[in-house]
Structure 1
Amino acid sequence: MSMRILTLIFTIFTTGFAFAQQQIDVAKVKEHPRLLLLANEESKIKSEIKNDKAWADVNDAIIQECTAITQLPTIERKMIGRRLLQTSREALRRVFFLSYAWRMTGRDEYFKKCEEELLAVSKFEDWNPDHFLDVAEMTLAVAIGYDWLYPKLSQSSKDIISKAIIDKGLTPALNPKHNGWQRGKNNWNQVCNTGITFGALAVFEQQPVVATQIIEKAIQSIKLPMAAYGPEGNYVEGYSYWAYGTSFNLFFISALEKIFDTDFGLAKEPGFLQTASFYQNLIGTSGIPFNYGDAGGNEGLQPAMFWFADKLKDNSLLSIEKEYLQTSKYNVKTNRLLPAAMIWGKGVKLNEMIAPKTNLWFGRSENEIAVLRSGWERGKDIYVGFKGGTASVGHAHMDAGSFVLDMDGVRWASELGMQQYNSLESAGLSIWDMSQKSQRWQVFRLNNHSHNTLTVNGKLHNMVGNAKLVSKSDDANNTRAVFDLSPVFQPDLQQAQRGIAIIDKTYVTVRDEISTADKEAVVRWAMLTPAKVENLKAKEATLTSKGKQLKFYVEGLEEVKLQTWSTDPPQSYDAPNPGTTLLGFELKLPANSKRSFNVVFVNADGKIVDKAKLKSLSNW
C-alpha cells in the first residue's frame, strides 16, 4: 500500500480525536535491531549467564525449547470461535524465542526456523482484525522477528515480511471499524497500542510519516488505561490481566526508552511504578494466586517484575520470582514473553531477592482489594486475599466480600477463577454485556453463588454496587481490613460490613455485621474449599487437605447449622468444578433486625481462640 493511501487513512482515522500529539525525534530511530535489544547488547546477557547459574538455567530453557520448536510444523492459521488469538500467541512465542536464541547462539537452525515462521504468518490472508488483539500480538511477533533477524534476512524475505506488517497490522489499525481500542481504558488499549507501535517502529524506513503519527498517538492513547493504576497500583482486572496488560505496557515503554532515550513520562503516571507490589502480593503463601475475576492459574516467572525492580532499585519485589527461578517455573510452553526476563533481569542475584517486611497491602481503585499476611514464608505464614469492589468493571465477577485463605501452605478458601470464553460464546451466551440482567451472571463461576461471600434472598449481587474499604491496620498482632458491602445488597439489606483479621499471627476471623431492611431476609454465608469437609457439626467442621487440618467454627450464632452445597455445574454451559465443595450456613433474619457473627479458622492443633478478641467492627 502506498504512503499516500496510508496517510489518507490515518487522516480520516484521527479526525475527531482530542489527543494532544506527542512529538518524537525521528532522527533517533536507530538501525536494526532497534527493538528492546540493540546490536551487541547480547554480550552483556552472555556475560551475566556465565556468572549466574539461575540465569543460565533460564537461558538454557529457552534455547532447549527452541530446539524443540525447530521440529514443529510451521504454524497455521487456525481460528477458535471468533479468535485467531491462540495462533498469534504461539507465533509470538516461537518468533521471540527463536530470534532470541539466534542472537545468543548464532546457530543457523534457529534463524531458518524463525524466518520460516515469519514468512508463513506473513502469507496469512489476514491477522483477524475483527478481534484486534489477534492483530496486535501477531504484529508484535512479526515486528520483533523482522527487526532482530534483519541483518541476515534476504531482501525478498524483508519485502514479504514488512509488507505483511503494513498491510495486515498497520492498515487495519488505522481503520475506524477496528480501532475502538484506542479509546479504551483496559488491557486491549495496552496490547494493541504496543503491537501496532512495534510494527510502526519495525518498518519505519518504509513508512516514516505514518509510523511517526502512529507512535505519537499511541503515547497519548496508552495513558487511558495507565490512569487506572492510580493512586496505589491496583490493577482493576486482577492477576492474569495484570500480567497481560502491564507486560505489554512495559514492552511499549521499553521500546521508547531504547530508541528515544525517554518514555515521555509514562512510567511516572500515578500508581504505575507501585503496581509491582500489587502483583507480588497476589501470590499466597501456598504459592497459589488470589485469582479473583477472570483470572487463571499461576503465571510462573514474570519478566515484568524484573523491569520494575530495576526501575525502582528494589529487589524485594522479586521474592516470588526468586522462587520461580529456584524451581524452574518458566512455563516455556506458554510464557511467550520469557526472553524479556533475560533483557530486563540485569543479572540480579538470587541472594539479593529478599522478601518485603510488609503484612498489609491495599489499593484504592474501582475494584478494591486488601491483602493480609502474617509473613512471607512459603508453606508456613498465613495469607488472606480479601475482595471488595464491583462487578461492573472489565472481567469482574460478582465477588464483593469474597476472600481466599492460606494456612500451613494449603489453600483452604479458594476461587474457581475464569471459565474459558469460547466455551460460553459457543453456547450463545452474551458474556460481555455487563448489565444486571446479562447472561453473564447466569454463569456459575461468574456470579456470587460460587464465591466466598454472602448471598441474600438467593439473588444476584447488585452489579453496580461498589464495596469500599472503610478501615485497615497493619498491626502485626491484629492485621485487619473492613469492607462496606452495603451497596452490593441493596435494597434487601440496609447495611452489611465484613471484616477479616489475622490475630496473633495464629488464626483468622471473618466477621459479618448485617442490618436488614423492612422485610425479612435469608442470608447465605458460603465458602468454596478444595479441602475435604469432615466432622460436620452444627457450628463447626474440620477441613483436611494435603495432610493438614483446619478447624472451622462459627461464633455468635446459636441457631446456626453448617451444611455443604454441591459445585456441580448447574447449567450445561458451566465448566466442571471437581474436587471443590461449598461450606456454610443460612440465616433467616427478621425485618429491621441486626446480626453479628464470626467465622474462625484455626489450626486443628492450634491455640485456643480468645473470644474477647472477636470484637465488633466499630472497635477494629
Structure 2
Amino acid sequence: MRFNKVFSNLLALLFCTHLFAQTDSLNTDTKVPAHPRLLLLKGEESALKKNISSDKVWSDLHKAILQECDGLLTVKPLERIQIGRRLLSVSREAIRRIFFLSYAYRLTSDKKYLQRAEKELVTIAAFRDWNPPHFLDVAEMTTAASIGYDWLFNDLSKETKAAVKEAILTKGLEPSLDEEKNKNWLLAEHNWNQVCNTGMTYGALATFEDHEELSRRIVNRALRSITIPMNEYNPDGAYPEGYGYWGYGTSFNVMFLSALEKAFGTDFGLSTRSQGFLKTGGFLENMTGPSGRPFNYSDAGQNGELQPAMFWFASRVKDPSLLWVERRRLMEDPKSHVKNRLLPAIMLWGGNININNAVPPAKTMWVGRGKNPVALMRTSWTDSNAVWVAMKGGTVSANHAHMDVGSFVMEADGVRWAMDFGMQDYESLESKGIQLFGRTQDAQRWTVFRLTNLVHNTLTANGQHQRVTGSAPLIRTSSDPLFMQATTDMSEVYKGTLAKAVRGIAIVDKKYVLIRDEVQARDTATVLRWTMLTPADVKITGSNTLELTKNGKRLLLQVTEPANVTMKTWSTAPPHDYDAPNPGTTLVGFEVSLPPNAKTALSVKLIPASANNSGQQATQSLSNWKGEAVPAYNGKATK
C-alpha cells in the first residue's frame, strides 16, 4: 500500500512536470486591453443598454439585479466567518455582491453602487487570508476581487486599488504558485480545476500590467491544466459529476473562456479541442424534467436553477433551443434568481438572443457516453404532463458519485414518482467526523445512508454495496417514440455478487415506463432486491402491484416478472445520527431468491392513471429490444 501511494505520487509529479513544461500560448509580446478587460470591455455597456430597452425579458432581469443591489446598500459588509474547513460561503457571497454592484455601476453610473462595491473590496482585501487550505475559497474570492478591481478600476480610490491589487497577489496568486501543494486541483479532472484556474486567471488578467511575467505564467498554466476537466465532457457532453456540479464547474469554465475571448480575442482553441464540451448544453437541458426539477444523481440538490452558462452555449453554437428550459425559468420570475452569484453574466452572454423566439428542442431523447453515461427520454417538451425518465450507467469512482449505477428518476402527469435523495450537506457530515470524499470500497463515505445503492432506484444483491471499481456502459438505445429505450450493462459494478446484470428502461407507446433487468447469480444463493424511492403515498394492492398517489394523481407499479413476488416497503428513517432526515419518502419494491447460477428477469411497469389501462402487452427479452448499438468510448481526449 505504501509503495502504491509513493508510486502514485511519483506519477502525479511526473505528469505535473510534463504538463507545465509544455509550450506557452502567451509570450512576451502578448498585450491585454485597458481596464475594464474582464468579460465586458470599455464601451460595450451601450449594447447591453440597447438590449435592455428593446426586450422586456432583459429589462425585467436588469431591474431585478438593480433592485437587489439597492437592497445590498444597507447590509453589513462581509465578515471572515469560516464554517468547518470552508470559507466558501463568504467567497461566493463576495462574488455575488461585487459582481452585481459592479454591473449596476457600469450600467447606470450611479455612484452609490460604486461606493458600496468599494466597501466590500476593501473588506475582503483586509481578511488575514482567503483560506488557502481549501483552495476553492481562494479561487472564488480572487474572482470576486478581480471583477471589482477591473470593472471599477477607473473610479476606485488610489488606496483601494493598492489594497485590492496587493490582496489579489498575496492572498490569491502567490498561494497558487506552490504547484506541488496545489497539484490536487491543477491535475484534477473535476470542478476544482475549473474553478481554481478561473480564479487565478481572473487575478492574473486583472493585475496583468503590474507583474506581466507572473500573469503570463499563471494564464499559460491554466490553459494547459484546464484541458483535463474539459476532456471529461467527451465524447458527447455528459458531465460526470451531474447536474449540480455542472452548474459549478461548467459555469466557471465558461467564465474562463469568456474572459480569454475578451482579453485576447481567442480561447486558444480550448472549446473546440474537446470533442464534448460544446455539446454539453444538450446534456444540461435534457437533465431537467417537465416539473423543472433535475435528474439529481451524485451530489446534487433536488431543485433546478437558472444556468447562466447555457446562454453562452446557446450563443456560441447558435442554437436558441438550448434555452427552452432557461426561458421558462427566466420568464416566471426574474427576481427569484438574484441569489445566483453569476447572474449578471446572462446579460453579457444572452443579450443578442431573443429568448421569446426560443423553440423547444427537436429531439425528445438525449444520450451521452463517458464516465457517467446517461439516457434522457421524454414524450414531449411542451406538455407539462409528459412522461419523462432519466437513467444512468457509469461508475462509483467518479468525483462526487453515489452508488447509483443503473438508477433512474421518472415523472408523469406533473408528478415525480421515482426520485433520488441527492446530496446531504457536507458540513452536517464533516462536523460529525465523517471523512466524506474517499473513493475506496471501504471509505467512510459509504456509511452515509443517502449515498449507497440500498436507497437508489437500482438493484442490491445479498445486501452488498455496488463495486467502486468497474463501469456500466450504455450498450443499446433507440429514439423510436413508440419504444424509446436504453440498456446498460451493470455486470462489472456487481462483480463478486452477480455474474451478470443488464438493465433496460423504456417509454412504451408514449404512455408508461418499463424497467427490465436480466440477471444471473453466481455459484452461491442470492437474494436480489429491486427498489424505487418515491415521495408518493403508497398502497400495496396485490402480490405484484402497488398504487402510488400524489397531488391527486395516481400511478400503478406492476411487476410482470417474476410471476410470484411480494411487494414490500422499507423505511427511509436515517440509521445514524449524522444522516439527514428523509420525511415524506418511502422505498418500494420486492425481493427475489435465486439458486446458484440461476438466471432471472425482473420486469416492472410504471403506469400513470392517464395511460388508460395501457401496459398490458407482454415484455420481450432485452435481446429483442430493437435499437442501435452504442459505440464503445475509448477515452481518447480529443478528436
- With the shorter chain as reference, the TM-score category is over 0.9
Q: Which moved more, 1:480-489 or 1:23-32?
A: 23-32
Please list the CA deviations of residues 523-549 of structure 1 after superposition, one character each: whole Å capped at 9, or x if unmatched. 111000011112442111111111211
CA contact (8 A) 1:19 1:220 kept: no
Aligned to 2:208: 204
Partner of 1:28, secondary structure, is coil
Q: Which moved more, 1:257-266 or 1:171-180?
A: 171-180
CA contact (8 A) 1:378 1:409 kept: no
* AA of the residue aligned to 2:586: T
* AA of the residue aligned to 1:79: Q
Q: Distance in 2 between matches of 1:501 and 1:313?
A: 31
* TM-score, normalising length: structure 2: 0.93
Aligned to 1:608: 613
Q: Note if 1:54 corresponds to 2:57.
A: yes
Partner of 1:571, secondary structure, is coil
Q: Distance in 1 between matches of 2:497 and 2:25?
A: 54
Partner of 1:313, secondary structure, is coil
Displacement of 1:346 after TM fit?
2.3
Distance 1:366 1:550, change over 3 A: same
Please list the CA deviations of residues 389-446 of structure 1 after superposition, one character each: whole Å capped at 9, or x if unmatched. 1110100000011100010111100000001111111111111111001110110111
Q: Note if 1:396 corresponds to 2:401.
A: yes
CA contact (8 A) 2:543 2:566 kept: yes
CA contact (8 A) 1:485 1:498 kept: yes
* TM-score, normalising length: structure 1: 0.96
2:236 to 227, 232, 237: 232
Aligned to 1:70: 73
Aligned to 1:94: 97
Displacement of 1:282 after TM fit?
0.6
Distance 1:558 1:139, change over 3 A: same
* AA of the residue aligned to 2:24: Q
CA contact (8 A) 1:324 1:330 kept: no
Aligned to 1:121: 124
Aligned 1:181-330 pairs, distance under 5 A: 181-268=185-272, 269-328=274-333
Displacement of 1:576 after TM fit?
0.8
CA contact (8 A) 1:173 1:179 kept: no
In structure 1, the gaps of 5 or more residues are 1-12
Aligned to 1:495: 500
Q: Distance in 1 between matches of 2:501 and 2:507?
A: 21
Q: Distance in 2 between matches of 1:277 and 1:528?
A: 27
Q: Distance in 1 between matches of 2:320 and 2:205?
A: 32
Q: Distance in 2 between matches of 1:325 and 1:469?
A: 34
* AA of the residue aligned to 1:174: L
2:559 to 554, 561, 570: 554
CA contact (8 A) 1:280 1:320 kept: yes
Q: Note if 1:130 corresponds to 2:106.
A: no
* AA of the residue aligned to 1:533: V
Aligned to 1:22: 24
Please list the CA deviations of residues 429-464 of structure 1 after superposition, one character each: whole Å capped at 9, or x if unmatched. 111111001110110111111100111101111111
Q: Distance in 2 between matches of 1:218 and 1:350?
A: 33
Partner of 2:34, secondary structure, is coil
Q: Distance in 2 between matches of 1:441 and 1:14?
A: 31
Partner of 1:445, secondary structure, is helix
Q: Distance in 2 between matches of 1:312 and 1:330?
A: 28
Distance 1:482 1:491, change over 3 A: same
Partner of 1:597, secondary structure, is strand
Please list the CA deviations of residues 76-111 of structure 1 after superposition, one character each: whole Å capped at 9, or x if unmatched. 001010000000000010000010011111111111
Partner of 1:482, secondary structure, is strand
Q: Distance in 2 between matches of 1:609 and 1:464?
A: 40
Q: Distance in 2 between matches of 1:81 and 1:228?
A: 30
Q: Which moved more, 1:376-385 or 1:240-249?
A: 376-385
Aligned to 2:172: 169
Q: Distance in 2 between matches of 1:200 and 1:323?
A: 37
1:563 to 565, 568, 571: 568
Q: Distance in 1 between matches of 2:546 and 2:552?
A: 16
Please list the CA deviations of residues 536-572 of structure 1 after superposition, one character each: whole Å capped at 9, or x if unmatched. 4211111111121111111022221111111111111
CA contact (8 A) 1:330 1:338 kept: no
* AA of the residue aligned to 1:618: S
2:46 to 43, 58, 76: 43
CA contact (8 A) 2:194 2:250 kept: yes
Q: Distance in 1 between matches of 2:610 and 2:208?
A: 66
Q: Distance in 2 between matches of 1:299 and 1:172?
A: 35
Q: Distance in 1 between matches of 2:602 and 2:339?
A: 44
Partner of 1:498, secondary structure, is strand
Q: Distance in 2 between matches of 1:512 and 1:202?
A: 55
Aligned to 2:426: 421
Q: Between Structure 1 and Structure 2, how many residues are aligned?
A: 608
Please list the CA deviations of residues 453-486 of structure 1 after superposition, one character each: whole Å capped at 9, or x if unmatched. 1111011111112111111000011000011111
* AA of the residue aligned to 1:158: K
Partner of 2:538, secondary structure, is strand
CA contact (8 A) 2:20 2:224 kept: no
Partner of 2:277, secondary structure, is coil
Q: Distance in 2 between matches of 1:256 and 1:430?
A: 37
Q: Note if 1:31 corresponds to 2:31.
A: no
Identical amino acids, percent of aligned pairs: 49
Displacement of 1:606 after TM fit?
2.5
RMSD: 1.5
Aligned to 1:341: 346
Aligned to 1:486: 491
Distance 1:174 1:144, change over 3 A: same
CA contact (8 A) 1:359 1:479 kept: no
Please list the CA deviations of residues 358-413 of structure 1 after superposition, one character each: whole Å capped at 9, or x if unmatched. 12211111111111111212522111110111110100000011100010111100
1:376 to 372, 381, 385: 381
CA contact (8 A) 1:310 1:346 kept: no
* AA of the residue aligned to 1:43: S
Q: Which moved more, 1:604-613 or 1:581-590?
A: 604-613
CA contact (8 A) 2:237 2:277 kept: yes
Q: Distance in 2 between matches of 1:84 and 1:473?
A: 46
Q: Distance in 2 between matches of 1:331 and 1:393?
A: 32
In structure 2, the gaps of 5 or more residues are 1-14, 626-639
